[in-house]
Amino acid sequence: MSNDNRDASFDAAMRQLHESAVDRVSGRTRLQLQQAPRTTPATSRAWPQRHAWPLAASFAAVLALMIGMQLGNGPAPAPAASATVADADAEIDAVLDENPDLYVWLASNDAYALAMD
């Protein structure tokens, strides 16, 4: 059996099943279904229109607040910390270069005794 034949037989079986189910529905239920409105109530469609403006205004306010906070911080500070560390290292090197006796003292037993205290 080809796919077209299977689809056609399945379609025919489902139509027959639907027809028998419709025949079993009571007359009162059919009347209620015929009288029921086919569209959704107007209140459910009004939600997007009624709530769209406050939602858009809230989003715009949050966006403006985020932009204001970014602009309020000003420009990023320059990397002064690394320059300060480099300056401190240069000062230490200059002190050690000026006073070579420090190295002699560090190698002595006095420095070792002071470190152990």
pLDDT at 62: 92
Does the structure show a pLDDT above 70 at 46?
Answer: no
Residue 13 belongs to a domain: yes
Do 105 and 111 touch, CB atoms closer than 8 A? yes
Residue 64 belongs to a domain: no
Do 102 and 96 touch, CB atoms closer than 8 A? yes
Do 88 and 94 touch, CB atoms closer than 8 A? no
Residue 65's nearest CA partner among 55, 77, 75, 57 is: 57
Count structural domains, the chain. Answer: 2
| String of DSSP letters for 33-83 | HHHS-SS--HHHHHHHHHHHHHHHHHHHHHHHHHHHHHHHT-SPPP-HHHH
Summarize the confidence of residues 34-55 as an average pLDDT. Answer: 69
Residue 46 belongs to a domain: no
Q: Domain span at residue 16?
A: 1-37
Give the amino acid at 83: A
pTM of the model: 0.28
Residue 14 belongs to a domain: yes
40-44, 57-61, 105-109: least confident range: 40-44
pLDDT at 60: 92
Residue 10 belongs to a domain: yes
**2-41 confidence digits (pLDDT tens):** 778 889 999 999 999 999 998 898 988 888 888 887 765 5
Residue 44 belongs to a domain: no
Residue 25 belongs to a domain: yes
